[in-house]
Structure 1
Amino acid sequence: MKPDQDLFGKTAFVTGGSGGLGKAISNAFASRGAHVTIFSRRLGPLEVAKDEIVTNCADASRQEINAVPVDLADAGAVSEAFKSQTRIADFLYCSAGGNHAENGFFVDLKASQLDSCMKNNYYSTAYAAKAMLDIWVENDRKSSSTDTQKEPKGHTTRKLVFINSAAAFLGIPGSVAYTPAKSAVRALADTLRFEFLRHNSAMTTYTIHIAFPADFVSPRFRLEQDTKPHLTKRIQGTNLASFAELEKKFPSSEKVALGVIAKVDQGDFIICEDSLAASCLFTNMTGLSPKRGLGIVDSVMGVVVGWLVTPVLRRRWERMCREDGERM
């Protein structure tokens, strides 16, 4: 078996798998031999994505690619969709989310937009994680009771991966609905990292990982550019003349996907692979998250960022906000 085709017999579930980073992750898993099931709201884009994923399979005759339409903000629907699959996932990548319909300043947003942004980003992640964990734990219980009667099966590793955002590390003006939702996802991952330890056994190991990609090129990124306030674009450095310039400046979905998967394979909990800025921001707000590697670089950078970078960044943003207010 080739080293890059090491997942034959494994199954990956990917929410938000019909486009952007979710589809790129699904293609990567298919190319390594895994069965892949993608979940998203609209059937049309799901079917198009499924056809593309099939073409990327290592051996389509040995792999099963499925597309399941489901409202990921509906806990019951997500649970039923996961339970209805013929295979239990070894990996769950939660990649659904976005905020192109909820960009704007707090005073300009409707309460319904705050609600929808939380549903699309936090609840779509939490409900998928809950549904998957319920299935995994129940499967472990059944396997445990069965294995007492016969020879034990091999060890199983189950991986839960949240595709979050660097927005979780700081409040960006004009992204006021999105940042709290992504901060909530980070808090969920930190908490589940501890709770997962309760479920580890001689039969099964549970791991959780959370990625914080910064801006990257995707169809959703293009939509978000159309709805971001100019101030937000200036702060993010996305106020360029054309989308072609943005494509040169920021990484592709495919590059980010491969970076995230590689870090998950290595066992990293915190993943900021695509962005030095996101990596630095994490070091100044580690909390109880484990530091990366031996922790030395994160510890040193945390001091540097806290003393030198954050004060400068804060004052710069304050000045930009005042100037933007004067132009109102």
Structure 2
Amino acid sequence: MQLAQNTLANASDRQLPTAPFGHNGPLVTRLGYGLMGLSCFYGPPKPDHERLAILDAVFEQGCRFWDTADCYADSEDLLAKWFALNPEKRSKIFLATKVGFRFDNGEMSIDSSPEYVMKAAEKSLSRLGVEYIDLLYAHRVDKVTPIEKTMEAMTQLKKQGKIRHIGLSEVSSETLRRACKVEKVDAVQVEYSPFSLDIESEQIGLLKTARELGVAIVAYAPLGRGMLGGNIRSNSDLSDDDTRKYSPRFSEENFPKNLKLVDTLTSIAEKKNITASQLTLSWLLAQGDDIFPIPGTTSLPRIQENYTSSTIHLTNKETAEIRKACEEAIVHGARYPDDFLKDTFVDTAVL
């Protein structure tokens, strides 16, 4: 099938559409790049030269919003190598990283205490080899530390010039409200895709609250962790060291049932001569200028496919048809195993 792609003669000059990142925020490319899969969780990482070439391609496609985390294996170190090879491009990248997961003697825990946030941020600065981080997220928040204390630490980092913007991830609506009373929160990162519309629900209320407070939504796993790409059709397509193999949504029992929505969206996409991935990203962009999806891929062709999505226009009828398909679909399996699901949409301790 012919993809809707615009291959430019000077790819490095390409500029993706931008939008203000939160109320009065900087202009950031509407589509970002999630680096997690380059280093971990989705099978063994590729050699450095191949991964650096992926980053080159993402830059050439005009994506300037890059998202990583300190717990993504060697991701921050890989970025340091890329910046060392491309020092003139550092200032062009809106660089986001996250802190909050810690590992002690092989045991993982969540720590959003002020002391740990400060310590982890310093370590990320060192690993990345940069003087400042554009956006620092609390990757997850523990249920012991009041969000106000976490925000005080991030505010201090901001005053010191070590970070420029503050983000939270997987917090509740009420936690976001409390955080914003301490200092401006520029973005909240949360899973948002045709498979995960939780933030829109009245019960969660996170999208409504973020819009009320002028906070950008960064949509991770916008393609359903690759399921909407169409290449993965069963649990057996995943390697044993791919964490998706053990995700409830990707189980042998649930996977075939979830393909129903994939196939419906693929059918709609084929009518426009585009892919399901392109359709999905275009639809997410159409949900509002405050939505910033961050698809991740280790495939060069997928990079061009994904970022071309910003050029695709959906009619009101098409947007409504996709919405109807998503809302009518029965999604089988949670987005995380129970041990991880309990740390989403978190309320922190009261100060």
Q: Which has the larger radius of gyration?
A: 1
TM norm structure 2 = 0.36
TM norm structure 1 = 0.38
More helix by proportion, 1 or 2? 1
Q: Which has the higher contact order (CA 8 A, sep 6+)?
A: 2
